[in-house]
Structure 1
Amino acid sequence: MNQPGDAQLAVAWERCDWNERETPMSRREREASRGPYLASVPPAISGMAFDIPSDVAAEAEDALVEISRFDAELAASLPRADGELAPLAVVLLRTESASSSQIEGVTAGAKALAIATLNESSGQNARMVAANVEAMQQAIDLADDLSTDSILAAHRALMHGQIHAHPGRFRDEQVWIGGGSTPHTATFVPPRHARVPALMEDLVTFCRRTDMPVLSQVSIAHAQFETIHPFNDGNGRTGRTLVHAMLRRAGVTRRLTVPVSAGLLIDTEAYFAALGSYRDGDPTPIILQFSRASFTAVGNGRRLVDDLTGIYAEWQDTLPSRKGSAARRLLPHLLSQPAVTVKHIQQYLDVSQPAAQRAVDQLVEMAILKQVSTGKRDRAWIARDVINALDQFATRAGRRA
């Protein structure tokens, strides 16, 4: 059984030859980078037993119950005949994706992200976060088929178009975290690339186990993924999609993505320190981080849902259009996609261009939509109330756009 600092779980180390690269560096750096370096050798965990302290296990179980309760609370409002509140699940997916990217320094405000998802002109960060939304959806859609292939598919979606990351492929070279131009002075050196495929197969086998408390299993799987660091880039974001795939697979969540990464944002230093403790053989800190992040995320998520349902109710009271009008049919969509163009509305509602334009004009008149510039000829409009609610969510989570 594993105890804090147990050598069974701690990574081992192996000496690796270093082929000096033509990288500009000072004489001091070059001297420190001579000779072999040490790369980690993570243990196989698929059949490992974990003895989690009872108080830590209890906190993780409480967090899991809270996640399920939140999922059920929202699900209770979804089965309405018209399905009007269904987009709230998409909103939570988007906020989780944005927060997940923020952990690695990729930021985008709600307005920029909403415009980016229309494929309109937007900044690089917004486009990257929009890609992360697609990757998160990939993970959720493939939760029933959790495999190395589904993980590669999520990475392919996340890193689409970023050639340096080799989207959808495990890395074929050494990578390291921090420390400059070579692995010799790095903060952490993941395993050699030749070890990655076998380690990932072992991790997937671990993820499929049914004999462990779910949140403890999810936390350990996430830490092991980050330790393997199987990709050239995008490891953190892909690893956090694995969290949601496992929660969905275990039946903890059915309808939505609980914004766990937003909870982790409250104390990123503690999160990275917990990963370090895991590599030293102690899984307790990472389990505690995920438990506490879950409580924080659920509380913040509930507030976001309250804000959005309040906005939606006010819109319904304000808009004089008849129930089946294009303008009224568009309202629930604005909760999940708060930036629209006339062309987007045409496609989404399957209406003519004049009908889409009339819907926009009505919503502008009622101050539900406001025109913004996208840097292109096509005009776009945003639902300011939704944008403000999402940015307030981000602020509460400690994320700054």
Structure 2
Amino acid sequence: MTTVSMYAPQGFVAVPPVAYEVHDWVPRFPEMYSRAEIERQTGTYESTVTPAIAQWSPRLDSETIANVEEAALALREFDLHSLTVFGAADPALAPMSAILLRTESASSSQIENLTTSAKQLALAEIDEGKKHNALTVVGNVRALEAALRLSDKLDTASILAMHTELLSRQEGLEHEAGRFRTELVWIGNRDNAGPRKASFIAPQHLLIPDAIDDIVAFARRPDVPALVQVAVAHAQFETIHPFVDGSGRTGRALAQAMLRNKRLSTHTTVPLSAGLLVDVETYFDALTQYRAGDAGPIVRRFADAARYAAVTGRELVDNLANELEASKHALAGIRSDSAAWKVLPRLVGQPVVNTRYLVGALGLSDMTVVRALDVLSDREILTERTGFTRNRVWEHRGILSVLDAYAARIRRTV
């Protein structure tokens, strides 16, 4: 049950701080490092021990309560706006969800300095792009899809499934996909000789399973304000850092699963990571303050990110809807049973296409798809981008421009 503290400073949300335990470290491959570095990295270090939060009940002041309630309402209104714009029966709603999910994946990846363009990501989705970052972000797309698909469960198996989708497409780390780490990880020490002098040392790997079970129990509780629950579960997950790679992206996928589970977003994917991306420094600082015993900063950061996502997400939906409407006008006079009309809504979620993709997605014959692409090209809705006579690729430049403008808007505020 949420209560209001009469004693805590304004905005302070007390949470059990992390503890530490002392261990010894000796560089595992001393021949790879200088004698001075070996000496610096030999000795004791303190790794984090996360407290249990399954039974934690937040004490929130009135301002924080109002803040999270307003932000949660903004998310629900954005979700309903998306449904209103496209309608439950509109075939463009599923592609709209797809492009919002892809936008969220790209922003989440950018927090980890994995940057790609809307075009490169769309190309990677149809096996036409070869850019490493784009292929890595596709893994994040699959992880988010798994998060939403498994959102009713919120269990350890679901978290591992998200991570499997994420890392199974990341070259060189496929063997780590879907498994908790079995080694120590740390942040803030560029030299891999050891963890000493690192800014953050994650818990020992043997502590991970119980710590994740504790998060799952907390995430399932019905008596905590939803956005507070999402923010704290995410901060706890990042503190556990359960994977060798991909903990941040999986933690943000978990946040999306919780938003869906708590019914803050039921029809579309909220671009929450875009809201975090606009000020990464305060996001990371809030995680540090959470570990010190104050959940207030991460709760406020998530509330701010939710409002940003709702406002900018609404604009993105409207701009994409406008592009779709303009394309419909361009198709005026084409028979309603033409395959071009079936292709059109797909372009919202996949603005770069080839015949192979459309044949698989729509179940049409090769010849029917080719005729549809000819119509869409003649009406200047699609542009063929390769200039080849075979293995051609078409793009909807208006939709790509909308997506690029959204990404640029986020980058301008970083």
- Of the structure 1 ranges 360-369 and 224-233, higher mean CA displacement relative to structure 2 is found in 360-369
- Of the structure 1 ranges 174-183 and 259-268, higher mean CA displacement relative to structure 2 is found in 174-183
Of 344, 350, 353, which residue of structure 2 is paired with 1:331?
344
Structure 1 contact 120–374 (Cα < 8 Å) conserved: no
* RMSD between aligned residues: 2.1
- Show the counterpart of 1:21: 28
Of 285, 290, 294, which residue of structure 2 is paired with 1:278?
290
Structure 1 Cα separation of the partners of residues 388 and 35 of structure 2: 47
- Of the structure 1 ranges 347-356 and 311-320, higher mean CA displacement relative to structure 2 is found in 347-356
- Of the structure 1 ranges 31-40 and 238-247, higher mean CA displacement relative to structure 2 is found in 31-40
Of 219, 230, 234, which residue of structure 2 is paired with 1:222?
234
Counterpart residue type for residue 16 of structure 2: L
Instruction: Give how far 1:19 is off.
Output: 3.5
- Show the counterpart of 2:381: 368
Structure 1 Cα separation of the partners of residues 312 and 36 of structure 2: 48
Structure 2 Cα separation of the partners of residues 230 and 354 of structure 1: 49
- Show the counterpart of 2:180: 170
Structure 2 Cα separation of the partners of residues 276 and 82 of structure 1: 44
Q: Mind listing any 5+ residue stretches in structure 2 that lack a counterpart?
A: none
- Of the structure 1 ranges 391-400 and 241-250, higher mean CA displacement relative to structure 2 is found in 391-400
Structure 1 contact 345–356 (Cα < 8 Å) conserved: yes
Counterpart residue type for residue 369 of structure 1: L
- Which residues of 2 match residues 2-401 of structure 1 at below 5 A? 9-22=16-29, 24-79=32-87, 81-162=89-170, 163-164=172-173, 166-180=176-190, 181=192, 182-319=194-331, 320-373=333-386, 378-398=391-411
Instruction: Give how far 1:364 is off.
Output: 1.4
Instruction: Give how far 1:82 is off.
Output: 4.6
Structure 2 contact 235–287 (Cα < 8 Å) conserved: yes
Structure 2 Cα separation of the partners of residues 81 and 209 of structure 1: 33
Instruction: Give how far 1:150 is off.
Output: 0.1
Q: What is the CA deviation profile of residues 228-273 of structure 1, one whole-angstrom value per residue up to 9, with x for unaligned ones? A: 0000000110000111111111111111111000011110001000
Structure 2 contact 181–243 (Cα < 8 Å) conserved: yes
Number of corresponding residues:
400
Instruction: Give how far 1:6 is off.
Output: 8.4
Structure 1 pair 15–116 and aligned structure 2 pair: CA distance change class (3 A): same
Say which SS state the counterpart of residue 282 (structure 2) adopts. Answer: helix
Structure 2 Cα separation of the partners of residues 283 and 194 of structure 1: 25
Structure 2 Cα separation of the partners of residues 250 and 49 of structure 1: 17
Say which SS state the counterpart of residue 115 (structure 2) adopts. Answer: coil
Structure 1 pair 377–31 and aligned structure 2 pair: CA distance change class (3 A): farther
Instruction: Give how far 1:301 is off.
Output: 0.6
Instruction: Give how far 1:356 is off.
Output: 0.9
Structure 2 Cα separation of the partners of residues 374 and 175 of structure 1: 48
- Of the structure 1 ranges 373-382 and 157-166, higher mean CA displacement relative to structure 2 is found in 373-382
Instruction: Give how far 1:26 is off.
Output: 3.9
Instruction: Give how far 1:377 is off.
Output: 5.9
Say which SS state the counterpart of residue 20 (structure 2) adopts. Answer: strand
TM-score, normalised to structure 2, is 0.92
Counterpart residue type for residue 329 of structure 1: K
Counterpart residue type for residue 179 of structure 1: N
Structure 1 pair 196–26 and aligned structure 2 pair: CA distance change class (3 A): same
Identity of aligned residues (%): 43
Q: What is the CA deviation profile of residues 276-302 of structure 1, one whole-angstrom value per residue up to 9, with x for unaligned ones? A: 000111000000100111111111111
Instruction: Give how far 1:57 is off.
Output: 2.3
Structure 2 contact 376–382 (Cα < 8 Å) conserved: yes
Structure 2 Cα separation of the partners of residues 106 and 139 of structure 1: 20
TM-score, normalised to structure 1, is 0.95
Counterpart residue type for residue 169 of structure 1: R
Structure 2 contact 13–59 (Cα < 8 Å) conserved: no
Structure 2 contact 68–228 (Cα < 8 Å) conserved: yes
Say which SS state the counterpart of residue 398 (structure 1) adopts. Answer: helix
Structure 2 contact 13–58 (Cα < 8 Å) conserved: no
Q: Mind listing any 5+ residue stretches in structure 1 that lack a counterpart?
A: none
